[in-house]
A and B are shown apart, each in its own frame.
Chain A
Amino acid sequence: MAISFDKALGDFPGHLSLYGERSSLLAANIANADTPGFKASDIDFRSVLAKAGGEKMVLNTTHASHLGGSSAVSSPELLYRIPTQPSVDGNTVDTQVEQAEFAENAVRYQSTLTFLNGKFRGLKLAIKGE
């Protein structure tokens, strides 16, 4: 029985890239907290993950030595945040909200990394057999 890294790691690599993308989005919101007319945006994490879990994107293989490719999460749809306190200049960034979301996103990223590290530890243990 061969060890497949793709199967062993599960959805975690996709989650990691999604969290990375979301952190750049939230960083853009925080960076533009003082830009007139800037609209804060975010992605709906649950729906993106649900979509990725429902239909795995697998590349077609027409030859025995082709690689299947990983089940990457498709690029998420941008949604605008509904402002709680919109300002006169058209800016809809709520710095506190964005900071909280960024912190949560960072913790989720880190927990996904911890899970991945656990997977790698398990694989190492299986390979070494000690």
Chain B
Amino acid sequence: MSLFNVFDIAGSAMSAESVRLNVTSSNLANAQSVGSSEADTYHARHPVFSAVMQSLQADAGSVGVRVDGIVESQTPMEKQYQPHHPLANEDGYVFLPNVNIVDEMANMISASRSYQSNVEVLNTSKQLMLATLRMGQ
């Protein structure tokens, strides 16, 4: 029954999008977490999605989403001269995380929209399945 596949596919996409939302929220939360060196400071994180076959029996069309991993951004960090900051290094600089707030907000909106469209797909399929179960009654 291929309509059952829809639940797996949309479910995998929803969990992937929620990982994306989660990562975005931790990036935004740590946007001001300064550090005394580039290695100590929070790096912006981004999930990597890939398509994955749901099962061996299923046809080629049922492709879900998997989060392959979360990569840390290697964009150079901004230095700020704050000699009185407790985390300042010997030259008086603190490092700001390489989180781009505008990027993160756009990411957040995209993730929530994708999540919503997958919920819509799930709801529609559920209604179709229920209608199929009532067939002939």
Q: Which residues of A contact B (CB under 8 A)?
A: 16-17, 20-21, 23-28, 30-38, 41, 75, 78, 95, 99, 102-103, 106, 109-110, 113, 116-117, 120
Inter-subunit contact B65/A23 (CB<8 Å): no
A16, A28, A37, A106: which contacts B62 (Cβ < 8 A)?
A: A28
- Chief secondary structure at chain A's binding surface: helix
State how many residues of chain B have any CB contact under 8 Å with chain A: 38
25 contacts between A and B (CB under 8 A): A23-B2, A23-B6, A23-B128, A26-B121, A27-B10, A27-B125, A30-B10, A31-B9, A31-B13, A31-B63, A31-B118, A32-B63, A33-B114, A34-B110, A34-B114, A36-B48, A37-B51, A78-B60, A78-B61, A95-B117, A103-B124, A106-B125, A110-B128, A113-B128, A113-B131
A21 with B50, Cβ < 8 A, contacts A27-B6, A31-B13, A117-B136 known: no
